Amino acid sequence: MVDMDGQMAQWWGTVFLLAVFVAGALQGWLAWRQVRHVRAHRDRVPAAFAETIPLNAHQKAADYAVAKVRLSTVEDAVGLCVLLAWTVWGGLAVLHTALLQWLGAGMVQQLALLGAFALVQGVIDLPLSWYRAFVLEERFGFNRQTLGLWWIDLGKSFVIGMVVGLPIAAAVLWIMGNVEAWWWWAWGLWAGLNLLLLVVYPIWIAPWFHKFRPLEDVALRERVSALLERCGFAVQGVYVVDASRRSAHANAYFTGLGRSKRVVFFDTLLAQLRPEEIEAVLAHELGHFRRFHIHQRLVLLLGLGLAGFVLLGWASQQAWFFAGMGIVVEAGSHPALSLLSLLLLSPLLSLLLSPALASLSRRHEFEADAFAARHVRAQDLCSALLCLYRDNASTLTPDPWYAAFHATHPGACERLERLGCQTRQTP
């Protein structure tokens, strides 16, 4: 049996390393294709947009796309190196042993392990997060937050993570160590928390980070109310968020569940679009609800979560599973290590699922566009999209393979063609 476990550990270790290598190579290849494709089309606006997107805006979007991909490549490489450092290079085993010697076995040590892991990951992520905000976004004119506000947001996130995360982690760890078929109960707790957060986030958590005020423009509010009434959609309120304190990017979204549903407009969006275009963007977001995209994504999230807990339940009983990743622990003896092991594998699993998930998201965007076109003028949605493509510096020429893995929204040409819009008309 020992020999069999050793062989399985060796086999799994080989598969794990091969998966890391393949993931790194795939991410690098996709990034290379995106950079090459975008740069090849940088100096000429696609014919369909020649009269609506200036060349300098197109070039800015191309440069922005290339810069983001290059940074993502660095982030991916760092992520894979950190994954190896935690696993086959022994980082997680060292941290576990040190905390075990200091605190002894038990719930406190397991929570300390989760907390220490999260803290180390956060520190590793800080430099690239800072670079994204204060170098990349700053260079292209999108960053508006101060360094002080950035640190305040990090501090608030840490406090919320401690207040919400620690009790939930303790409950999950207790269930894992004391309940038969624990994955069902742990998943139920996790699912319930996600549903609860959909209700409480817009009311209690989001205001910690942003200021929300009711939409004050009377004419626009009446237009929005009329659209909501035509679509038979009730919300708790229509709000404007001070997104311009942090970024020049524009957006709008629905948030909440049940009676807590609310419409939120970025103040940057209101500054960039005409009232009829804002109405069209809202109609698109309504389409996501009316076509049950939010419900589908929620069911998908919960289903993937259940699959993850079932996988965790099986893997936690296999000593070779941990040994193959460089973690020496008796099977089933340490729930926190089991959780962290699956968490470390999640980027590889996400990459495997990304084409299917991205394809589903793009299909939902088409369906939401079609819904909007039935309730507002399609040309208004087209002009809004063109404005957002231009002002958010979204590239018009993504690489098809890169888009297949990463693009959650369809390409501009295909999207506007589906809407039947004349893109040569100035928005």
Residue 2 scores a pLDDT above 70? no
Query: 3-state DSSP call for residue 69?
Result: helix
Q: Is 148 exposed, middle or buried (0-12, 13-18, 19+ CB in 10 A)?
A: exposed
Q: Over the stretch 306-326, which tens digit does the pLDDT of each residue have? A: 999 999 888 888 888 888 888
As beta bridge partners, residue 265 has 240, 252
Q: How far apart are CA 363 and CA 427, in angstroms?
A: 25
At residue 332, the pLDDT reads 53
Spatial CB neighbours of 139, under 8 Å, sequence gap ≥ 6: 67
Q: Which of 369, 380, 391, 399 is catalytic?
A: 369
Is residue 369 among the annotated active site residues? yes
Q: Over the stretch 54-97, which tens digit does the pLDDT of each residue have? A: 999 999 999 999 999 999 999 999 999 999 999 999 899 899 98
How sure is the predictor about 422, in pLDDT bands with cuts at 50, 70 and 90?
Answer: low
Q: How far apart are CA 91 and CA 84, in angstroms?
A: 9
Residue 372 near residue 280, CB atoms below 8 Å? yes
Give the distance from CA 258 to its chain's centroid: 23
| Token digits of residue 388 | 């957002």
The residue with greater pLDDT, 27 or 327, is: 27
At residue 370, the pLDDT reads 95
Q: Between vectors from CA 313 to CA 311 and to CA 314, what angle results, nearest 5°?
A: 65
Structural domains of the chain sorted by starting position, each given as residue range(s) with its CATH number in brackets: 2-143+290-418 (no CATH), 212-272 (3.30.2010.10)
Give the distance from CA 5 to its chain's centroid: 37
How sure is the predictor about 333, in pLDDT bands with cuts at 50, 70 and 90?
Answer: low
At residue 426, the pLDDT reads 40
At residue 330, the pLDDT reads 62
pTM, to two decimals: 0.91
| Token digits of residue 22 | 């393949």
At residue 427, the pLDDT reads 38
CA within 13 Å, CB half, 128: 16
Query: 3-state DSSP call for residue 420?
Result: coil
Tokens 């740069």 appear where? 39
Annotated binding residues for Zn(2+): 284, 288, 365
Annotated binding residues: 284, 288, 365
At residue 329, the pLDDT reads 66
Spatial CB neighbours of 343, under 8 Å, sequence gap ≥ 6: none
At residue 425, the pLDDT reads 42
Reference 233, options 295, 289, 195; nearest CA is 289
- Least confident window among 2-6, 223-227, 279-283: 2-6
Mean pLDDT, residues 129-139 taken together: 96
Q: Which of 137, 277, 285, 380 is catalytic?
A: 285
Taking each helix axis from N to C terminus, what angle separates 55-86 and 378-391, rounded to the nearest 10 degrees?
70
How sure is the predictor about 423, in pLDDT bands with cuts at 50, 70 and 90?
Answer: low
